[in-house]
Amino acid sequence: MKPLFLFFALFIALSSSAQTPDEWLGSLPLAKDYVQKRSSSYDRSGANADAREIAPGATLTLLDADGPALVSHIWVTIASPDSDHLKALVLRMYWDNEATPSVEAPIGDFYGLGLGEYFQYESIPLSVGSKQAMNCYFPMPFQKHAKITVTNEGSEKTDAFYFNIDYRVYSKPQPSQLYFHAQYRQASPAHGWTNQWNNNGQPGIGDRKNLKGEGNYVWMEATGRGHFVGVTMSILQNQNDWWGEGDDMFFVDGEELPSINGTGSEDYFLGAWGFGDHGFSYGLYGAPVKGAEKAGSRTSVYRFHLDSPITFTKSLRATIEHGHANHRSDNFFSVAYWYQTEPHAAFPVLPPLAARIPKIFDVGGPGNSK
């Protein structure tokens, strides 16, 4: 009986969680209990005009489908004369007829392109391929209905928005599945507690205490039961020196002190020593864009907890310092990804487009003019 037990244990594990590539291969011989569907921008006439236009202020519906089902893959590519279209086009996802979206982010930020510019990288859940092909593999289950939209908040028409959304339709509800969430946040700039410093490690800066995360940059706050699965973040430096002296801090179920506390920003994103001198990307972590340690530099990083999501039963507050004990005033743009029960807590109001565009701020400190 032992081999049979192990087979069923493996089957249950593969059916209820995100799979690794090895597990995909291992599960291929198993019978599937869904019907594969796709929602796409293909030309309904049978011709080759397979893209959609999105006028300024207009909303394009990418998916409007009944459940029970699971979105398994979202591919998008865009042609637009608007140089800020990655910030101007806002992606929203609604599960089971909820009034407010569980996913809300500029489309570039959702795919890890937080500085409004394209670059290539590859992770397990998100990737950007050549040329400007954005892919998402986060599994997104829903029981009754799903709606996915993109709204053009810019002043120029999007000439061509192509999309393919693959989803599985089941004959009966799938048990014990939480809902996918993604939340955009920014600090532009993050407000450091001082600009009277010359380097990150000087006395009064490097030895300042921050046990409770006061003033930390917040990736997300959630209430309910769920688990945090990762974050993408981009930084535009307003000041010289290394931006990444900040510790990650996770406050689970209302903790006053974080039960998960890191040792530095590049350590949380699973690099070391300032990420070295060039970018990199791997399945669960990366810094595909790595700028110099000076004002005006741009960096993009990501970390996914697919191996061991951070669980919560009541609430979660996921944060990171901006500089040690929050002394720095750089610009942060992030999207946090997690799964949870519904209803979810209210999201922060999405900043207007003009505020989402990365720019240098006059904050003082080394390398800044103030």
**Do the strands 140-142 and 133-136 form a parallel or antiparallel pair, or are they unpaired?**
unpaired
The answer to whether 154 touches 59, Cβ cutoff 8 Å, is: no
- The 10s digit of each residue's pLDDT in 37-64 is 999 999 999 999 999 999 999 999 999 9
CA distance 35 to 171: 9
Residue 312's DSSP bridge partners are: 226
Mean of the pLDDT values across residues 6-12? 36
Which pLDDT band, with edges at 50, 70 and 90, does 23 fall under?
Answer: confident
Tell me how far apart the alpha carbons of residues 73 and 125 are, in angstroms, rounded to a whole number.
9
Tokens representing residue 200 in the block:
């990150």
Task: State percent of the chain over pLDDT 70.
Answer: 94
CA distances from 363 to 148, 206, 235, 245, 296 (A): 38, 20, 15, 18, 13
Task: Give CATH superfamily name and number for 179-356.
Answer: Protein of unknown function DUF2961 (2.60.120.1390)
**Could you tell me if 142 and 115 are in contact, meaning their C-beta atoms sit under 8 angstroms apart?**
no
Per-residue confidence at 370, pLDDT binned at 50, 70, 90? low
Q: What confidence tier does 20 reach under pLDDT thresholds 50, 70, 90?
A: low
Q: What is the pLDDT of residue 19?
A: 57
What is the pLDDT averaged over residues 222-241? 98
Tell me whether domains 31-170 and 179-356 share a fold. yes
Residue 127 pLDDT exceeds 60: yes
**How do residues 136-187 score in pLDDT, each as one tens digit?**
999 999 999 999 999 999 999 999 999 999 999 999 988 889 999 999 999 9
Q: Residue 10: pLDDT above 80?
A: no
Q: Where are the domains of the chain?
A: 31-170, 179-356
Instruction: Identify the pLDDT of residue 325.
Output: 97
Note the pLDDT tens digit of each residue in 185-199.
999 999 999 999 999
Does 4 score more than 60 pLDDT? no
Residue 32, preceding bond cis, omega within 30 degrees?
no
Give the per-residue pLDDT at 24: 81
Task: Give tens-digit pLDDT for 242-285.
Answer: 999 999 999 999 999 999 999 999 999 999 999 999 999 999 99
pLDDT digits (tens, 9 = 90+) for 299-340: 999 999 999 999 999 999 999 999 999 999 999 999 999 999
CATH 2.60.120.1390 fits 31-170, yes or no: yes
Q: Is the pLDDT of residue 6 over 50?
A: no
Residue for token pair 């993050």:
190
pLDDT at site 9: 39
Q: Report the C-alpha gap between 147 and 145 in whole angstroms.
A: 7
Terminal alpha carbon distance of the chain = 73
Whether pTM > 0.85 for this model: the answer is yes
pLDDT digits (tens, 9 = 90+) for 31-43: 999 999 999 999 9
The dihedral built from the CA positions of residue 256, 259, 260 and 265, taken in this order, carries a sign that is positive
DSSP readout, 71-104? EEEEEEEEE-S-TTHHHHEEEEEEETT-SS-SEE
> Could you give the percent of the chain with pLDDT greater than 90?
91
**Residue 228 in this model has a pLDDT that exceeds 90:** yes
Question: What is the DSSP pairing of strand 179-187 with strand 103-106?
Answer: parallel
Instruction: For strands 217-223 and 315-320, give the pairing.
Output: antiparallel
Tokens of 86: 């990655």
Instruction: Quote the mean pLDDT of the chain.
Output: 93
Q: How confident is the model at residue 360 (pLDDT cuts 50, 70, 90)?
A: very high
